[in-house]
C-alpha cells in the first residue's frame, strides 16, 4: 500500500526537478489521490440512494481529479497545478448549487483553497488562485439563493455531517503529505550536509598526511641557518 501511495505521488517527477518542484508535484498528486476516492464515495452514495444526477456530477469529479495525474505526467507541474486550482473549486461549486446549502458541500472549498498556499512559488500566484476559489464559492452561494436544487436530499443533515468529516480528513491528509515531504527533504539535506562535512574532513586528513609538519620546517630552517653555504 505504501509503495502504491509513493508511486502515485511520484507521477510526473523528472530527473531535473529541484527538491522544491518535486515536493509541489507530489502535493498536486496527493490532492488528486484524495479527490478521486472522495468522488467515488459520493458517486456510490448518491447512485445507491437514487440521486442519479448528483452521482453523475461526482462521476465527472472522478474524471477531473484523475486527469490531474495525467496532466502532471504529460504537461508538467505548472499546467497540473493551475488545472486543479481552478477545476476542483468549480466541481465543488457546481455540486453545492445542485444540492443546496443544507448538504454542506460548500465546506469542500476549505480543501480546494488551502493547497494554493503550498502549490505556487510566489505569494501573488497563491493569492490569485485563492481569490478565484473564493469567487467560485461566492457564486455557488448566490446560486443557492436563486436556483432551486435539482432534488431535495432527504438525508441532508446526515450528509452535512459526512461532508464535515470528509473535509477534516482531507485537510489532515494534505497537511500530512506536505509535512512528510518536508521531513524527507530535511533528511536529504542533512544527509548531503553530512556527506560534504565528511568529505572536507577526509580531504583535511589527506592534506595533513601529505604536508610536512611544523617541526620538520623548523628543523630544516635551523639546518639552513647553521650551514648557509651547504646545498
Whether residues 143 and 40 fall in one domain: yes
Domain range enclosing 136: 2-189
Whether residues 201 and 151 fall in one domain: no
Instruction: Read off the pTM.
Output: 0.71
Mean pLDDT of 133-147: 86
Distance between CA atoms of residues 56 and 151, nearest Å? 13
Q: For the chain, what is the mean pLDDT?
A: 80
Asked if the model's pLDDT at residue 133 lies above 80, the reply is yes
Whether residues 113 and 218 fall in one domain: no
pLDDT per residue over 62-97, tens digit each?
Answer: 999 999 988 988 888 889 999 988 988 898 888 888
Q: Please tell me the predicted confidence (pLDDT) of residue 56.
A: 92
Residue pair 174/115 in contact (Cβ under 8 Å)? The answer is yes
pLDDT per residue over 25-66, tens digit each?
Answer: 888 888 888 888 889 999 999 999 999 999 999 999 999 999
Whether residues 93 and 144 fall in one domain: yes
Whether residues 212 and 121 fall in one domain: no
Q: How many domains does the chain have?
A: 2
Among the residues of the chain, which ranges form H helices?
2-9, 19-48, 52-74, 77-99, 108-113, 116-119, 123-146, 156-210, 214-226
Whether residues 157 and 212 fall in one domain: no
Amino acid at each position: 500500500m505504501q509503495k502504491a501511495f509513493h508511486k502515485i505521488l511520484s507521477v510526473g517527477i523528472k530527473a531535473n526537478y529541484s527538491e522544491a518542484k518535486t515536493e509541489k508535484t507530489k502535493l498536486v498528486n496527493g490532492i488528486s489521490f484524495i479527490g478521486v476516492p472522495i468522488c467515488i464515495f459520493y458517486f456510490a452514495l448518491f447512485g445507491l440512494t437514487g440521486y442519479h444526477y448528483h452521482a453523475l456530477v461526482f462521476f465527472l469529479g472522478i474524471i477531473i481529479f484523475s486527469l490531474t495525474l495525467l496532466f502532471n505526467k504529460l504537461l508538467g507541474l505548472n499546467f497540473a497545478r493551475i488545472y486543479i486550482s481552478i477545476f476542483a473549486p468549480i466541481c465543488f461549486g457546481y455540486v453545492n448549487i445542485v444540492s443546496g446549502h443544507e448538504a454542506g458541500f460548500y465546506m469542500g472549498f476549505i480543501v480546494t483553497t488551502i493547497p494554493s498556499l503550498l502549490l505556487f512559488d510566489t505569494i501573488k500566484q497563491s493569492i490569485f488562485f485563492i481569490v478565484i476559489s473564493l469567487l467560485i464559492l461566492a457564486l455557488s452561494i448566490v446560486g443557492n439563493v436563486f436556483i432551486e436544487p435539482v432534488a431535495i436530499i432527504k438525508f441532508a443533515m446526515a450528509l452535512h455531517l459526512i461532508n464535515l468529516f470528509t473535509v477534516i480528513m482531507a485537510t489532515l491528509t494534505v497537511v500530512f503529505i506536505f509535512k512528510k515531504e518536508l521531513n524527507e527533504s530535511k533528511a536529504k539535506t542533512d544527509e548531503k550536509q553530512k556527506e560534504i562535512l565528511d568529505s572536507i574532513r577526509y580531504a583535511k586528513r589527506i592534506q595533513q598526511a601529505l604536508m610536512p609538519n611544523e617541526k620538520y620546517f623548523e628543523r630544516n630552517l635551523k639546518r639552513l641557518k647553521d650551514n648557509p653555504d651547504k646545498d
